[in-house]
Amino acid sequence: MVVTAGGTREPIDVVRFVGNRSSGKMGNALAAACLEAGARVALVTAAAPPPVHPRLTVTGVETAEEMRRAVWAELASADVLLMAAAVADYRPREAATRKLKKSSEGLTLDLVPTVDILASLRDHPRRGRVLVVGFAAETDDPLRNATAKLRDKGLDLIVLNDVSAPGVGMGADDNAVTVIDRDGVVLVVERMPKLEVARRIASAVSERLGARG
């Protein structure tokens, strides 16, 4: 099983980056829940990893492209991908090799889209053998947007997190999610600690995996 965590960092120069507020807590909780269930977990993370575990391997990454390469490599021997990482949507077209000095004139960044890891998996040779679970952090019309993401990226399941709700945004200790498949809502998890949420997601994924045979 492959789990991704944290928010990627796309370099502006050698000290600055474009990123987001993701703490990696949800991804780490998912890794812990899957380990509890007896799985072997490959964690690809842009955040601080969880404690060492005999069935856990950790690959640290920073950028979206580094995460894509690591995920592709790990899927060679995995049957599930839980894509909980908050991958940056944009990166500077060019990163400076030295620290950019502050000036009174301001700074304009030329941003370009990062690699779409989930969409790229359509070309992975093992895509048909892997249950792919995406995550959607939404604020506006969350159910509609998450469902569109599931369909557009060819996912098996998507976990919706309405980050506009109090107490369950990025970096929070609690979460509340809705798990969706192509037929609609599968599971609603009310606000609770992220490890408890992760256990319910892991159970839903296990049931779906068992149904696939």
Would 101 be classed as within a structural domain? no
Domain total in the chain: 1
Would 184 be classed as within a structural domain? yes
Would 50 be classed as within a structural domain? yes
Q: Any catalytic annotation for residue 20? A: yes
Would 197 be classed as within a structural domain? yes
Full domain range(s) for residue 69? 2-95+109-212
Would 17 be classed as within a structural domain? yes
Q: Please, what sign has the CA dihedral across residues 130, 131, 137, 142?
A: positive
Query: For the segment 133-181, what is each residue's pLDDT rounded down to a tens digit?
Result: 999 999 999 999 999 999 999 999 999 999 999 999 889 999 999 999 9
The pLDDT value given to residue 80: 97
Q: What is the CATH classification number for the domain harbouring 158?
A: 3.40.50.10300
Residue 51 scores a pLDDT above 80: yes
Give me the catalytic one of 20, 28, 145, 175: 20
Q: How many CB atoms lie within 10 A of CB 106?
A: 6
